[in-house]
Amino acid sequence: MTGNTPFVIRPIAEPQIIDNVYSHDQVERMFGVIRQHGPWKMVLAQHFKSAEEVVATMSGSMPEGTEPSFDMFLTPNFRGFFGQNGLSHYQELDDIFYSVDHLARVRSYWNAEFASPESMNFIVQGSSRNLDPAHLDGTSFRGVDGRNSPVWLLNTMGKSGLFQRWMMKKAQVISWFYQGKIGGGFTYWPEGPQGAPKRLAMPAWNRGVVTQNEMMYHRGEACGPMDKRMPDGLAFQSLWSADPDRADGWQITTDGKVIERVAPEEVRLMVHWTAQIYKDKQERDLVFGHSDDLTHDQVFEMFVADLRARGLTFRMPSDPLTDRDFIRLLTSTYDCGRPAIYPIEAPGPHQEQIAA
Ligand SMILES: [Fe+2]
């Protein structure tokens, strides 16, 4: 995993497709919670405080001469949580969040002895574009995680392959409910970003996948008719909720005004359950006993040793966590590249935009 052996981002095992992930009654209850406990905010609005903040964060990545405007980053995807931090948020979904079936699925996927539910979120949308070319889900390590470390560091550690021994093992059961005829599938790259993609095509109802998405590039595809993928009036503060005038309908509002009504056959719901995995008693005790946790010093010592082994010359900063040049060196050295090949049926966001 040093300079000579490229590390490939790939999951512990080939993702497993499963049908009839939930019972009919469980599906009804999940839709019921989304209907009764809304409105739900856009995914983007959960990561940023304002439209201005989004533009400020993203403008660094824009091609030179492009003036970023907020609607460049807007997608009408709305998210909520059924559970977080190992805790179910709705009693009526307890059997789903603490599902013994899911626990058995992810233990088998990892061939591991122990698993516990970590979080469960959903993304609901009508017709929607998707600007994401592909991503990895956030990763964490024993001793170094989101509580004490910035996202760039965790991402770079994951991509480097140097810290696999400390990486928290996780697995997801992700399921989809989409009856629409256009797009909406799930593209994933189980052989790494340079390999061939695979695809779970839609329409599909209650169909899912068992996977390790911290170690596999993936993306949700745009869905619905091209001319409906960006509703007029969509804004940072737009919300998703049940349509009060139609028993099974939905609506998107901006500042209390309905900007889009969504029929049930156009709704795409993704339900994303994540578990923590402990391979055996020894690993369980390592995690909870904190006897082999990483420290930031150790992380940077290992990075520096690897950079030197690659023959790179650099000035060692006094604070590597904040030094811009050093951060740039790390992120570019361990950039394993985005996916190169897209399915013909689901071209990347660039082509989706041209087609739109
Ligand atoms: Fe993801």
Alpha-carbon span 23 to 256, nearest angstrom: 35
Q: Is 179 exposed, middle or buried (0-12, 13-18, 19+ CB in 10 A)?
A: middle
The per-residue pLDDT for 38 is 96
Nearest 10 degrees: Cα torsion 194, 200, 202, 208: -140
**Maximal C-alpha separation, the chain:** 66
Nearest to 16 by CA among 171, 132, 219: 171
Q: What is the pLDDT of residue 44?
A: 82
What's the pLDDT band for 10 if we cut at 50, 70, 90?
very high
Q: How far is the CA of 135 from the centre of ligand 1 (A)?
A: 6
In this predicted structure, what is the pLDDT of residue 355? 45
Q: Say how many C-beta atoms besides its own lie within 10 A of residue 115's C-beta.
A: 22
The predicted pLDDT at position 61 comes to 56
Could you tell me what percent of the chain has a pLDDT over 90? 79
Mean pLDDT of the chain: 91
pLDDT digits 0-9 by tens, 144-179: 998 999 988 999 999 999 999 999 999 999 999 999
Distance (angstroms) between ligand 1 centre and the Cα of 320 equals 28
- Ligand 1 centroid to residue 291 C-alpha, Å: 30
With beta carbons less than 8 A apart as the criterion, state whether 207 and 175 touch: yes
Distance 217 CA to ligand 1 centre (A): 8
Report how far ligand 1's centroid is from the alpha carbon of 302 (Å). 28
248 Cα–ligand 1 center, Å? 28
- Secondary structure letter of residue 41 according to DSSP: E
The predicted pLDDT at position 244 comes to 96
- Report CA torsion sign: 277, 282, 283, 286: positive
Give the per-residue pLDDT at 354: 45
Using the Cα atoms of residue 181, residue 173, residue 46 and residue 243 in order, give the sign of their dihedral: positive
pLDDT > 80? residue 6: no
Question: Among 6-10, 106-110, 252-256, 316-320, which is the least confidently predicted range?
Answer: 6-10
Can you tell me the distance from the alpha carbon of 35 to that of 96, in angstroms, rounded to the nearest whole number?
Answer: 17
Q: What would the mean pLDDT of 181-197 be, rounded to a whole number?
A: 95
The answer on pLDDT for 54 being more than 50 is yes
Neighbours of ion ligand 1 (CB under 5 A): 137
Domains and their CATH numbers in the chain: 16-51+68-355 (2.60.120.620)
pLDDT at site 46:
82
**Tokens for 118?**
């970590």
As a whole number, mean pLDDT of residues 69-80 equals: 84
Over residues 122-141, mean pLDDT: 93
Cα 147 to the center of its chain, rounded Å = 18
The pLDDT-based confidence of 36 (bands split at 50, 70, 90) is very high
How many whole angstroms from 233 Cα to the centroid of ligand 1? 27
pLDDT band for 131, please (50, 70, 90 cuts). confident
* Ligand 1 mean position, distance from CA 214 (Å): 8
- CB-facing half-sphere around the CA of 68: CA atoms within 13 A: 17
Distances (CA, A) of 224 to 92, 184, 260, 323: 31, 7, 13, 44
DSSP codes of every residue in 49-87: SSHHHHHHHHGGGSPTT----GGGS---EEEEEEEETTE
Lowest mean pLDDT among 78-92, 207-221, 279-293, 328-342: 328-342
Task: State residue 1's pLDDT score.
Answer: 47
Confidence class of residue 353 from pLDDT cuts 50, 70 and 90?
low
On the question of pLDDT at 256 being above 90, the answer is yes
Pairing label, strands 16-18, 257-262: unpaired
Q: How far is the CA of 274 from the centre of ligand 1 (A)?
A: 11
In percent, how much of the chain has pLDDT > 70?
Answer: 91
Name the residue with higher pLDDT: 324 or 213.
213
Give me ligand 1 centre to Cα 305, in Å: 31
Query: How many A from CA of 134 to the centre of ligand 1?
Result: 8
Is residue 28 over pLDDT 90? yes
Cα 220 from Cα 208, distance rounded (Å) = 13
Q: Is residue 57 very low, low, confident or very high in pLDDT (cuts 50, 70, 90)?
A: low
Give the pLDDT confidence score for residue 70 in this predicted structure: 67
Q: Is the pLDDT of residue 321 over 50?
A: yes
* Statement: residue 356 has pLDDT above 50: no
